[in-house]
Amino acid sequence: MLVGVCDFPGSYAFPPAGYGGIERWLWAVAVGARAAGADVHLLGPGWLADLEPDWVRKPDRLEDITAGSLAERALRSAGYDLLVVGHEYPSLPAWTRTWNALECDVATFQHSPVFQHTSTAFDGRRSRLYCYSPEMIERYADHQPVPELAVHLGLDEDEPPAVAGSDLVWLGRIDEEKAPHIAVRAAQMLGRRIQIVGPVFDEAYVRHHERLFSASHVKWVGELGGPAKTAAIRDASVFVYTYARTYVEAGAAVFGESLRAGTPMAALTWRGGTCAEAALCDQTGAITVGDPDLDDETAAGLLARAIQEAEDLDHTQVQEIGMQRFDPARHFTAMSTRPC
């Protein structure tokens, strides 16, 4: 099987070294495809040049290729079986024109809870949309979505054997939608230190919760990539997961990242059918479902109890389950197989 993994214009490299969403997923698909025995071409100019000569890089983007051009003929002659791309592209006319000329399958993962596809973007067989959680499946029901847990990888993020860990960790983009202030307050209630890992996307949000974020039990780490990022997760006793009441998590990279590192999770959710429920089980984490009408203080108390439950879990077992559940080769095989 020959697989083309497509980049897209963006501010992050392919693959990204630290923060990134769809970019990390596309890299995981490429790694998984190769591990599953497929040949892989990295399509588009965004892929890092130093991936050569280990990887085949093709600099053209499908949406920029003109009909009948040498670039199109070269792609046709390659004989792709599957293209993997960001979720917007099966609804982009310029991209789909070239894809149709290649006469291959296309698969994508829904990383946005709001993007609207065209009615003809997916047929459920040759063109397939994959979604993480029951609530995402419901949102995109018109496009025949297939349930699948997304796998995300960055450069040099191979996980060493799990350890018990000590402090708590929260990782992600720091803004109101991700609500790390609730995690910080839960840690404070327990008298525990917590590391905050990730880039600040909303300075006003940080200022609004300055008293909490500047407390002595909080360690600001900043954005990490590669082995340092993996170590920050692995060395924690519990990964604390939060988000705002109205936010819908679509791609949820952190569940795979934490479980593969062997770190159990404590998750605060606001309704059923979320990514947390899809990703976690009693052996890998503790989930508390809060009423959206609850205030932050009460919600933090619920999360604190979930942290205590998660701390009793075995890190080695968490990693074993995580390596199976979020295995790149398994993920690729699931996405490359047409549903019956």
Does 332 have pLDDT greater than 80?
yes
Alpha-carbon distance of 28 to 245, in angstroms, equals: 29
Reported as a pLDDT band with limits 50, 70 and 90, residue 121 is: very high
Range of the domain at 193: 168-323
99 and 13 co-located in one domain: yes
Res 79: pLDDT: 96
- Residues 84, 53 share a domain: yes
User: pLDDT-based confidence at 20, cuts 50/70/90?
Assistant: confident
- Residue 85 covered by a domain: yes
**Whether 94 and 142 share a structural domain:** yes
Tell me the pLDDT tens digit for each residue of 196-236.
Answer: 999 999 999 999 999 999 999 999 999 998 999 999 999 99
Mean pLDDT over 72-87 rounds to: 95
Residue 162 to residue 160: CA distance in whole angstroms? 6
The rounded distance, in Å, linking the Cα atoms of 241 and 179 is 9
Confidence label for 271 from pLDDT (cuts 50, 70 and 90): very high
- Give, in order, the Cα–Cα distances in Å from 215 to each of 86, 132, 190, 268: 39, 35, 14, 21
Asked if the model's pLDDT at residue 241 lies above 80, the reply is yes
The C-alpha atoms of residue 237 and residue 256 are separated, in whole angstroms, by 16
Same domain, 236 and 121: no
**Cα separation of 222 and 192, whole Å?**
19
Same domain, yes or no: 151 and 173: no
Same domain, 15 and 109: yes
Number of domains the chain is built from: 2
CA distances from 221 to 123, 210, 270 (A): 44, 16, 27
Please check whether residue 330 lies inside any domain of the structure: no
261 located within any domain: yes
Q: Which residue has the tokens 């994959």?
A: 130
- Clarify whether residues 74 and 175 are in a common domain: no
Same domain (yes/no): 50, 88: yes
58 and 182 housed in the same domain: no
The band of 339, judged by pLDDT with boundaries at 50, 70 and 90, is confident
